[in-house]
């Protein structure tokens, strides 16, 4: 049996009881090591689980599948994934290869950023399509995610923006580059200016209410609500970050967002119909 086990978002103890029991009885345990990171390192996980973890980087998962699947038809192999195994990234390819080799699989779910963002008080069923923001380069500055945000806002829906975390090689616990909420907000501000220059009707403004989230589910989780402009100068600390662009806000959602605004922030502001706060 090949077990896909979600580790949740925080530390060693965010694995489920069921997941931990399976990890401890599997013959080999792989740790998927390229789509996300926990706030604790591999060594801490190994110590707590009482098992050696084999790092499975992108190359191994995509090219050396046979190694992962070896013997899984007669013994149990675990494949650990930060968050949920079918959350922000799916492992459909590995599922299909396993079945093709006559190996059954089972999924042990856990929280992923896709549902845990609900902790900021915005209701998950008021979210539209999730977007992924990418690092801009000198000559490659895609703006397509803004158009998705626009579609969501036109329907009054919130948008979860996943921010990249790029690990290089195998040193995944020392990520060299991840995008902060401030950087994502800066890119969005630039897009707004570009669109304004072109005379487009904007889907949002510098004053649209946004939420920055860092290390959701961890002890030092940080949530900050504010205008897009405010978030562009925020500092939410270490990775991972994600950001929400609000759509239409329900009064209870507003009350929750006020919990996460600074003293000069939303607490003293009022909401308008366009979900923009004005003083």
Which of 2, 3, 98, 128 binds a second copy (CB under 8 A)? It is 128
CA distance 127 to 256: 16
Q: How far is the CB of 152 from a second copy (least distance, A)?
A: 8
Kindly report the length of the chain.
279
Applying CB under 8 A, does 166 fall inside the site for a second copy? no
- Residue for token digits 């098992």? 51
Q: How far is the CB of 253 from a second copy (least distance, A)?
A: 7
Neighbour-count burial for 244-276, b at 16+ CB within 10 Å, e otherwise: bbbbebeeebbebbbebbeeebbeebebeeebb
Q: Whose Cβ is closer to a second copy: residue 225's or residue 232's?
A: 225
**With CB under 8 A as the contact rule, which of the stretches 62-70, 91-99, 192-200, 267-275 interacts with a second copy?**
91-99
**With CB under 8 A as the contact rule, which of the stretches 37-45, 137-145, 149-157, 163-171 interacts with a second copy?**
149-157
Which of 56, 103, 209, 217 binds a second copy (CB under 8 A)? It is 217
Query: Two tokens at 244?
Result: 């929400």
Nearest Cα residue to 242 out of 126, 164, 170: 164
Asked if residues 108 and 101 have their Cβ atoms less than 8 Å apart, the reply is no
Applying CB under 8 A, does 191 fall inside the site for a second copy? no
Q: Whose Cβ is closer to a second copy: residue 157's or residue 210's?
A: 157
Neighbour-count burial for 42-52, b at 16+ CB within 10 Å, e otherwise: beebeeebebe
Nearest Cα residue to 40 out of 11, 80, 83: 11
| 112 annotated as a binding-site residue | yes
Widest CA span in the chain: 65
| 121 annotated as a binding-site residue | no
**With CB under 8 A as the contact rule, which of the stretches 36-44, 118-126, 167-175, 183-191 interacts with a second copy?**
118-126
Q: Whose Cβ is closer to a second copy: residue 155's or residue 278's?
A: 155
Which of 23, 114, 163, 191 binds a second copy (CB under 8 A)? It is 114
Distances (CA, A) of 73 to 29, 101, 214, 271: 15, 8, 40, 58
Considering only residues 22 to 81 of the shown chain, the ones binding a second copy according to CB under 8 A are none
Applying CB under 8 A, does 16 fall inside the site for a second copy? yes
Q: How does DSSP assign 126-147, residue by residue?
A: GB---EE-----SS----HHHH
Q: How far is the CB of 187 from a second copy (least distance, A)?
A: 18
Q: Footprint of a second copy on this chain (CB under 8 A)?
A: 6, 8-18, 20-21, 84-88, 90, 92-93, 95-96, 99, 107, 109-112, 114-116, 118-119, 121, 123-132, 151, 155, 157, 162, 216-217, 252-253, 255-256, 259
């Amino acid at each position: 049996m090949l077990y896909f086990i979600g580790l949740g978002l925080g530390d060693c103890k965010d694995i489920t009881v069921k997941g931990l029991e399976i990890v401890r009885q599997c013959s080999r345990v792989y740790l998927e090591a390229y789509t996300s990171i926990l706030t604790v390192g591999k060594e801490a996980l190994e110590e707590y689980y009482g098992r050696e973890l084999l790092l499975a980087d992108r190359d191994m998962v995509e090219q050396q599948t046979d190694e992962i699947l070896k013997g899984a038809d007669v013994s149990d192999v675990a494949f650990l994934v930060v968050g949920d195994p079918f959350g922000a990234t799916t492992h459909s390819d590995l599922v299909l290869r396993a079945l093709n080799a006559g190996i059954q699989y089972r999924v042990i779910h856990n929280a992923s950023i896709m549902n845990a963002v609900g902790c900021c008080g915005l209701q998950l069923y008021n979210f539209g399509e999730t977007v992924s923001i990418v690092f801009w380069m000198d000559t490659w500055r895609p703006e397509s995610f803004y158009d998705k945000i626009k579609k969501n806002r036109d329907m009054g829906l919130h948008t979860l923006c996943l921010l990249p975390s790029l690990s290089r090689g195998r040193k995944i616990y020392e990520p060299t580059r991840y995008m902060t909420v401030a950087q994502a907000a800066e890119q969005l501000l630039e897009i707004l200016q570009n669109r304004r220059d072109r005379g487009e009707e904007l889907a949002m403004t510098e004053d649209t209410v946004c939420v920055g989230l860092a290390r959701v589910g961890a002890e030092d989780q940080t949530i900050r609500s504010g205008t897009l402009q405010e978030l562009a100068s925020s500092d939410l600390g270490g990775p991972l970050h994600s950001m929400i662009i609000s759509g239409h806000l329900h009064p209870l959602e507003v009350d929750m967002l006020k919990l996460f605004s600074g003293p000069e922030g939303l607490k003293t502001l009022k909401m308008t119909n366009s979900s923009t706060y004005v003083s």
